[in-house]
Structure 1
Amino acid sequence: MNNNAVPSPVSDESHDSWMRDLHGTHADPLRRYLIRLTLGEPHLAEDLLQETMLRAWRHRAHLPTDHEGLRRWLFTVAKRIAIDALRAKQARPTEIGTADISLLSAASSAMDDVVSAVQTVRQAMPKLTPAHRAVLIELYLLGRSVEEAAVQLGIPEGTVKSRAHYALRSLRDVIGPIDE
């Protein structure tokens, strides 16, 4: 047996020391190899190295016992894992970075603006005439079409359009200028 060879484990007690020896002997060269395969992505290379070591652990009973045979097996497995990772990455949509937390305050500010606008409209609605208020409720709150609102209110479609126009104008007058 070669001095650099990692002996194949015989009992459960020797598994930990066998894995430590395997990792200590082959991890650095494998990591350098995987960094080249991943085009300089050290985190991905480390993930692939761990997967290679895991496969060695799973197949420890069938691994070559000589140093060169074991080294060839590890590098072959590492290369196949890297190829599989590349294929999987190409099959998935492009990953994006982590969420930009600075946008959360802007989103929360936009939500505050919406809530404020709804409160302003709600306070202004009682100041409109009942006919104008009814048309706005039908069209904007209940989401009905002009035709449906006309049927519901019992007035012609042209009247619904006209009242909606003047109701919005009155609502703007009641609310006043909007500061931006």
Structure 2
Amino acid sequence: MDEEWFERLFRAHAPRVHRYLLRRAPSDAEDLAAEVMAIAWRRRADVPTGAELPWLYRTAGHVLANHRRRRHATPSGQPPPEAHDVDPAELVIADQAVRAVLAALSPRDRQVLLLHAWEGLTAEDLAAVLGISRGGADAALSRARARLAAAWDA
């Protein structure tokens, strides 16, 4: 039973999780995606039925953050002062104007907009990924869109 559940989960969602990580950590995406799926297997009782993909995206975000912390840590375990949490997905955007406008937004606004636009998440899925209510996700998306429009017009 568990093996069948995992097979279905993997077939349905592993490619999207991989693409999500590929845009953010191209050289490590396969390993990170494998780690996310291994976590899903180990924590299968915690994966919400009907909201598997948002759970996987949220887990992928945690795995990616841990990966970046490990990668940028000094021997003392502290990140170096010059280490920046740069999202490679933003670096591949070819249009300089779009890059400049996205850079003017907060990391949270960028995350909300990119999860919605690039990953195709609905407000309900955004809520699950961000760990907030559906209304909170709607508000976050609305605010992020308004800030994007304001930054674009500036």
TM-score (norm 2): 0.46
Larger radius of gyration: 1
